[in-house]
């Protein structure tokens, strides 16, 4: 009997159906300002389906509705794309089908639309109740894929994003205004077929990262990428604005690969500071083997992911880089009001590794003092990406809450934990009606006046 791949077992075992539950049990006190929806996306193939790669599993969104101290509902829904309903292939005789998405990486709200994202395809719009509306192409203006990690400027409300492809054009950059109208698109010169999963924005720049993972036609998992020592590792720095693409500069960096950016900003000397977890070749190969279910799969997909900092000096044409922490982490987050600006605090999820740091935890970094604090989650318990929500009347960067959904294997259950972001103390627990599959990314969607009217 063939063993199941790791992404179909344990914390990652998919759920078999869609349910809705109301009036959830709450321990502790939910802060009343937590009025909105926590939405999480992840890969959850249908029963009987074994994808060739974790990233090929169909997307499922889990939602938890909070209102003024109550947990009103939980619901989960598959994103109904052509890939879910009929297994539509990405490549056709006419080229890539940008609607053939699993839509299983992230979910955001912008311009009044909920968008489920997967970087090789168009986004898929969902209703507030998580039912699928369909592919969203920005009224026909978006003709490339859309990254699963768009960046919303906290000052302008603009949504910056890109589309990456293993075939020319390798990199397209896009901007949608605060209302969700696509207002700018440009091809980025000098880009390669390197896998670009995430990027960064600062006040004045857009920052792209090309690592050593690039297009590999011999890879047969359905995700045609692999590590290449011949692929240069680089950071692209581009001025924001209509003519920015023509002015992009590429800076060589040490070999490695980054999936997720913590943040980037310009310091007082005009240098660009970029941070995020990275892996070397061995770390990538262990993760990849886990994702495809190969025998040398490694114990954890993120066990060799360590936080790195780059300081790019455009005037001098130099890059200084260093690993700044030896804790294995992934899924970095922050108070989004500081996205693209200098931030003091960052959060992440810690993973067990050979250095003996223990099990899974929620980590808080103080970039000013260098302090690191960990909220240990407990045995056989895996937290999701910790989403920051500001507290009412917040005056400090870390005045707020971290929301994380825990998969508990011993209890075969899940809980939503609400942690105080300042000290990581547990504020409240919402008991969910089922164990929620370990996912990837999610968002807190606060209520708007329209939501209040509809409710």
Q: What is the pTM of this model?
A: 0.95
The model's pLDDT over 185-241, given as tens digits with 9 standing for 90+, comes to: 999 999 999 999 999 999 999 999 999 999 999 998 989 999 999 999 999 999 999
pLDDT of 452 above 60: no
pLDDT of residue 453: 46
Residue 101's φ and ψ, nearest 5 degrees, are -105, 150
Residue 393 DSSP one-character state:
T
| Cis, peptide link before residue 169, omega less than 30° from 0 | yes
Mean pLDDT of 327-341: 97
CB count in 10 Å sphere of residue 423: 10
62 annotated ligand-binding residue? no
pLDDT of residue 3: 81
Token duo for residue 113:
């639309």
* Interacting residues of 187 by C-beta distance below 8 A, sequence separation 6+: 169, 171, 172, 173, 245
The model's pLDDT over 393-442, given as tens digits with 9 standing for 90+, comes to: 999 999 999 999 999 999 999 999 999 999 999 999 999 999 999 999 99
Cβ–Cβ < 8 Å for 151, 161: yes
53 annotated ligand-binding residue? no
What's the pLDDT band for 359 if we cut at 50, 70, 90? confident
CB count in 10 Å sphere of residue 269: 8
Question: Cα separation of 26 and 23, whole Å?
Answer: 9
Percent of the chain with pLDDT over 70: 93
Give the H or E element holding residue 387.
Answer: strand 387-390
441 annotated ligand-binding residue? yes
Let me know how long the chain is.
455
CA nearest neighbour of 75 among 54, 90, 61: 61
Q: How far is CA 202 from CA 40, 155, 237, 393, 425, in A?
A: 26, 11, 10, 26, 31
Per-domain residue ranges of the chain? 155-324
CA nearest neighbour of 144 among 98, 106, 199: 98
Sign of the alpha-carbon torsion through 261, 342, 235, 328: negative
In whole numbers, what is the pLDDT of the chain averaged over residues? 93
pLDDT of 351 above 80: yes
Instruction: Give the lowest-confidence range in 91-95, 220-224, 380-384.
Output: 91-95
pLDDT of 454 above 70: no
pLDDT of 91 above 80: no
Which residue reads 């969607």 in tokens? 445
Higher pLDDT, 454 or 208: 208
Question: Cα separation of 278 and 344, whole Å?
Answer: 20
149 annotated ligand-binding residue? yes
Give the H or E element holding residue 291.
Answer: helix 281-292
CB count in 10 Å sphere of residue 374: 17
* Interacting residues of 48 by C-beta distance below 8 A, sequence separation 6+: none
Question: Cα separation of 34 and 455, whole Å?
Answer: 16
Q: How far is CA 170 from CA 162, 192, 210, 215, 263, in A?
A: 10, 6, 11, 11, 24
């Amino acid at each position: 009997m063939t063993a199941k791949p790791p992404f179909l077992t344990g914390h990652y075992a998919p759920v078999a159906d869609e349910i809705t539950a109301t009036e959830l049990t709450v321990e502790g006190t939910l802060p009343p300002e937590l009025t909105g929806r926590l939405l999480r996306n992840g890969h959850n193939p249908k029963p009987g389906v074994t994808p060739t790669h974790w990233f090929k599993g169909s997307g499922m969104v889990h939602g938890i509705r909070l209102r003024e101290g109550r947990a009103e509902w939980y619901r989960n829904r598959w994103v109904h794309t052509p890939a879910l309903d009929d297994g539509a292939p990405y490549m056709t005789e006419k080229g890539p089908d940008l609607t053939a998405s699993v839509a299983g990486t992230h979910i955001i709200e912008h311009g009044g639309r909920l968008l489920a994202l997967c970087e090789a395809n168009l986004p898929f719009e969902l209703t507030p109740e998580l039912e699928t509306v369909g592919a969203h192409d920005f009224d026909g203006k978006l003709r490339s894929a859309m990254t699963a990690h768009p960046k919303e400027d906290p000052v302008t409300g603009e949504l910056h994003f890109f589309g990456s492809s293993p075939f020319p054009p390798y990199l397209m950059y896009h901007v949608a205004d605060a209302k969700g109208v696509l207002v700018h698109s440009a091809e980025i010169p000098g880009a390669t077929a390197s896998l670009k999963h995430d990027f960064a924005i600062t006040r004045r720049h857009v920052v792209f990262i090309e690592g050593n993972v690039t297009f590999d036609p011999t890879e047969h998992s359905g995700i045609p990428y692999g590590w290449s020592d011949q692929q240069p590792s680089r950071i692209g720095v581009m001025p924001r604005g209509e003519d920015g693409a023509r002015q992009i500069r590429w800076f060589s960096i040490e070999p490695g690969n980054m999936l997720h950016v913590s943040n980037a900003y310009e310091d007082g000397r005009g240098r660009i500071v970029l941070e995020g977890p990275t892996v070397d070749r061995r770390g990538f190969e262990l993760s990849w083997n886990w994702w495809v279910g190969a025998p040398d799969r490694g114990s954890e997909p993120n066990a060799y992911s360590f936080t790195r900092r780059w300081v790019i000096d455009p005037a001098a044409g130099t890059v200084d880089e260093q690993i700044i922490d030896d804790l294995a982490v992934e899924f970095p987050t922050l108070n989004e009001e500081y996205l693209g600006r200098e931030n003091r605090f960052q959060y992440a999820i810690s993973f067990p590794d050979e250095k003996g740091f223990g099990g899974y935890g929620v980590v808080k970094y103080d970039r000013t003092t260098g302090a690191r604090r960990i909220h240990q989650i407990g045995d056989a318990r895996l937290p999701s990406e910790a989403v920051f929500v500001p507290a009412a009347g917040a005056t400090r960067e870390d005045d707020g809450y971290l929301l994380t959904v825990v998969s508990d294997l011993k209890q075969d259950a899940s809980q939503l934990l609400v942690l105080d972001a300042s000290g990581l103390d547990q504020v409240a627990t919402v008991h969910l009606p089922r164990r929620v599959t370990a996912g990837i990314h999610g968002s807190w969607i606060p209520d708007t006046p329209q939501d209040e009217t509809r409710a």
